Structure 1
Amino acid sequence: MTTVRDHTLPREYVVRDQAVVQSPVAPTPLLAELPAHSIFHEPWWLDIATGGHWNVAKVVRGNEVLGELPYYTARMGVWRISHLPPLTRTLGPVIKSLDLDIAHAQHHRLSITSRLIEQLPHFDSFFQLFDPRVEDALAFALQGFTVSARHTFQIEADRTVAQAWKRLHGKTRNVIRSAERKLTVAPIATPSEFLQFYEANLLERSRTNAYGSAVMRQLVNAFVERQAGHLLGAYGPGGRLIAAIGLVWDRHAMYYLLSSRTLEAHAGSVSLLIWTAMQHALEQKLTFDFDGFSSPATFNFLDGFGGTLKQRLGVERLSTVYSVARILKRRMVPGLASGFAPNL
């Protein structure tokens, strides 16, 4: 049985009394001695996001867990792959800090990470993206992985709400003020209301759910029930829901995970919801993480909230055969994307 950790926000920010979604039992649960680095490392999250297809490399000394590295296992045709599971923004190694000087601490982290990597099974394609706090990419590079940099915006936990408002770009403040005059922000009553709204907006745009409707449904129900996240809605005249966002959190940060709006929604509806979520995070002394950006347009939108640009390291290793097959496929299909990129 996995342990439910307390990530509770104050009562007024929590959507309660939702149906419990039972997640499958993890094949190799993370040991309780080493707390999860983020919500995305939590066994219950990985159970749902991977359908139970995950494992974890561990380094243990006696009864002390020194390091863990969870990873997803999947098949893509003939290829065995390990990428980030749906809606799982970051993973990476979790290394126990010891009371060491800088030089010995650096050696400790490098040694433990190397031992974790050595336990990974063979994958034709392996990719993970690390939280900005994780800098343990050197060990991966030394073992043949390609290390790349991606980015996210963060609002530091020590900012006040007034300071955060002042750092918003003028255009962003204006659209928020305009939306505040016309819309009401409130918790969405049930996960099913959010999910139906999300799917309806995809249908209206002739799109499908990139994360998988079933996985999203289970994760949204689970993080609401566990009080590790909530759903905010912007309501227009007559109480009609026109925009919604999903947020999750752990002891360190609140993450902007999901958003959706109707085609005719007010231009500032999502900005208003993000600003409301930022205030909730700062009141709880949590870092607000915008969870990266996948295009220049998204970068420009998120940049308006005055966040600090943070680097997230990615590590990737491809087998020779897989790498050649990918190159050939790109040449045969010009413009074909290599796969889902979590962010720039």
Structure 2
Amino acid sequence: MFDDLRKPYADPNAPAASGPADSVKQIPDTDTGGDAAQRRYRQLCNTANIPLFSQAWWLDATAGPGNWGVALVERGGQVVASLPYAPRRLYGFSVIAQPALAKMAAPWLAPMAGKPARMLGQKKELMDELIGQLPRFDHFQQHWDPSQTNWLPFAWKGFRQTTKYTYVLDDLSDTAALWNGMQHNIRGEIRKAGSRHGLQVRDDLGIDEFIQLNRQVFTRQRMPLPYTDDYVRRLDAACAARGARKIFIAVDKQGYRHAGVYLVWDGQVAYYLMAGSDPKLRTSGASSLCIWDAIRFASGVARTFGLRRFGAGAGRALLQGIRRQAAALLLCSEDPISHTSDLPVPAFAPQALRYDLDDIVQLPERQVLGNKDASPVPPDHLHSASTPQVQRRGIAIQKRQVFLDNLGQR
């Protein structure tokens, strides 16, 4: 039923560009911490084609070794399905959400062989078992890897799906074609960055240099940083140990750092994970120059290039800036998930928040699971009544809204 598990692909003949054709160092995960399922998953990550953001070492670096779990399904002593998750407490609620800089996840299913109808049934069965192993939660939210397009078993279990978009450059094999496919003004901006401003892209500067640039992006947008400096350093150390990251920083002749790009990869996809720039030097073309250098380098370590999807907390202005930059570089087109499995990133959340509390009532467009026969208290009743029960309900609604607002900022 299941084909042999496949190791991550890395094309040894892909053209190198601004750096050597590095591949991810296959460091066996020998960590024996965690429960039996976590240890079993570490073994799976050493052999199977698990996407970067779902790798055990990535979860260790972002969530912490003891702060994530995994649902596993085995057949004949072999793991055939997995779903990592990162639970945490937020304002008294049990939340399953993704850590910062681990923006994509998804159920992993071992390759199958057989008739399509039979495989669909098998996938539903595996996903049902994965869902059944999730710990109790009040809120669940994941942004799925675009390679996983079948969320129907989750819909049948009461989850809902919202289509988001990521930006992907599908084929890095011909960098000349990529250059010719850019908009004329972007090519001119990249040339100007070198000829007029004398910028050079360096890849030998450390993480602290990049953090300074990255922080300025959020400061300019008046947004709180979604992670601490130490958090980024910890992730960087894990990536550097595996040869799975490179930092590109554009520097002028006076030594000023204009912009930077943080690239990570897993042998199949190179991800533009973070960026930074000095707002006083934004007109130098440094950002475009760094992205182009990152794309050329990525052609030697991966097959595709992807901009990770930013969450709601990234801010509308930042999202629009990323979209314009991606469109100008012709990184991809925007297509709904029903038409392609490569571009969208589904975001999964339950149709409702589940509570043990009896004093949570229905809010507009949200349904509370549990007692489905209970009638919601009308809003005018909530405002006019003063009984202790209704007061408790009002407080619970306020706490829930604070929880949802804060979750959206993460």
TM-score per shorter chain, which class?
Answer: 0.7 to 0.9
Shift of 1:197: 4.4
Pick aligned residue for 1:167 from 178, 181, 184: 181
Contact 1:179 1:266 in 2 (8 A): no
Shift of 1:128: 0.6
Q: In structure 1, what is the equivalent of residue 227 of structure 2? A: 211
1:280 aligns with 2:294: no
Shift of 1:206: 6.7
Q: In structure 2, what is the equivalent of residue 319 of structure 1? A: 353
1:148 aligns with 2:162: yes
AA at the equivalent of 2:62: A
Change in CA separation of 1:142 and 1:209 when aligned onto 2, cut-off 3 Å: same
Q: TM (normalized to structure 2)?
A: 0.72
Contact 1:128 1:316 in 2 (8 A): yes
Structure 1 unaligned blocks of 5 or more: 15-21
Q: Secondary structure at the match of 1:136?
A: coil
What are the Cα deviations for residues 60-100 of structure 1, in whole angstroms up to 9, with x where unaligned?
11221110000001000210001111100201101001222
Q: 2:241 and 2:11 mapped to 1: Cα distance? A: 11
Between 263-272 and 137-146, report the one with greater CA deviation. 263-272
What percent of counterpart residues are identical?
A: 24
Change in CA separation of 1:139 and 1:223 when aligned onto 2, cut-off 3 Å: same
Q: Secondary structure at the match of 1:265?
A: helix
Shift of 1:261: 1.0
Q: In structure 1, what is the equivalent of residue 388 of structure 2? A: none
AA at the equivalent of 2:344: Q
Q: In structure 2, what is the equivalent of residue 298 of structure 1? A: 322
Structure having the larger proportion of residues in strand: 1
What are the Cα deviations for residues 194-227 of structure 1, in whole angstroms up to 9, with x where unaligned?
2344446766877642123222110012112210
Q: 1:191 and 1:264 mapped to 2: Cα distance? A: 21
AA at the equivalent of 1:71: Y
Change in CA separation of 1:126 and 1:319 when aligned onto 2, cut-off 3 Å: same
Shift of 1:231: 0.8
Change in CA separation of 1:319 and 1:208 when aligned onto 2, cut-off 3 Å: closer
Q: In structure 2, what is the equivalent of residue 251 of structure 1? A: 267
Which runs of structure 2 are paired with 1:1-344 in the superposition (5 Å)? 12=20, 25-27=33-35, 28-29=38-39, 30-33=41-44, 35-52=48-65, 53-157=67-171, 159-181=173-195, 182=197, 183-199=199-215, 208-267=224-283, 268-292=285-309, 295-308=319-332, 309=334, 310-317=343-350, 318-321=352-355, 328-329=397-398, 339-340=408-409
Contact 1:54 1:71 in 2 (8 A): yes
Contact 1:110 1:136 in 2 (8 A): no
Shift of 1:188: 3.3
Between 102-111 and 204-213, report the one with greater CA deviation. 204-213
Q: 1:237 and 1:24 mapped to 2: Cα distance? A: 49
Change in CA separation of 1:95 and 1:7 when aligned onto 2, cut-off 3 Å: same
Shift of 1:239: 2.9
Contact 1:113 1:136 in 2 (8 A): no
Contact 2:81 2:130 in 1 (8 A): yes
Q: 2:353 and 2:236 mapped to 1: Cα distance? A: 35
Contact 2:105 2:143 in 1 (8 A): yes
Q: 1:284 and 1:31 mapped to 2: Cα distance? A: 23
Change in CA separation of 1:129 and 1:331 when aligned onto 2, cut-off 3 Å: closer
Change in CA separation of 1:43 and 1:146 when aligned onto 2, cut-off 3 Å: same
AA at the equivalent of 2:162: S
Q: 1:153 and 1:207 mapped to 2: Cα distance? A: 23
AA at the equivalent of 2:309: G
Between 38-47 and 202-211, report the one with greater CA deviation. 202-211
Q: 1:91 and 1:51 mapped to 2: Cα distance? A: 16
Change in CA separation of 1:325 and 1:40 when aligned onto 2, cut-off 3 Å: same
Q: 1:8 and 1:223 mapped to 2: Cα distance? A: 20
Q: 1:257 and 1:26 mapped to 2: Cα distance? A: 27
Q: 1:23 and 1:188 mapped to 2: Cα distance? A: 30
Q: TM (normalized to structure 1)?
A: 0.84
Q: Report the aligned-residue RMSD.
A: 3.3
Change in CA separation of 1:337 and 1:174 when aligned onto 2, cut-off 3 Å: farther
Shift of 1:112: 0.8
Structure 2 unaligned blocks of 5 or more: 1-7, 23-29, 335-342, 367-396
Q: Secondary structure at the match of 2:89?
A: strand
Contact 2:172 2:298 in 1 (8 A): no
Q: 1:209 and 1:139 mapped to 2: Cα distance? A: 35
Q: 1:83 and 1:339 mapped to 2: Cα distance? A: 11
Q: In structure 1, what is the equivalent of residue 375 of structure 2? A: none
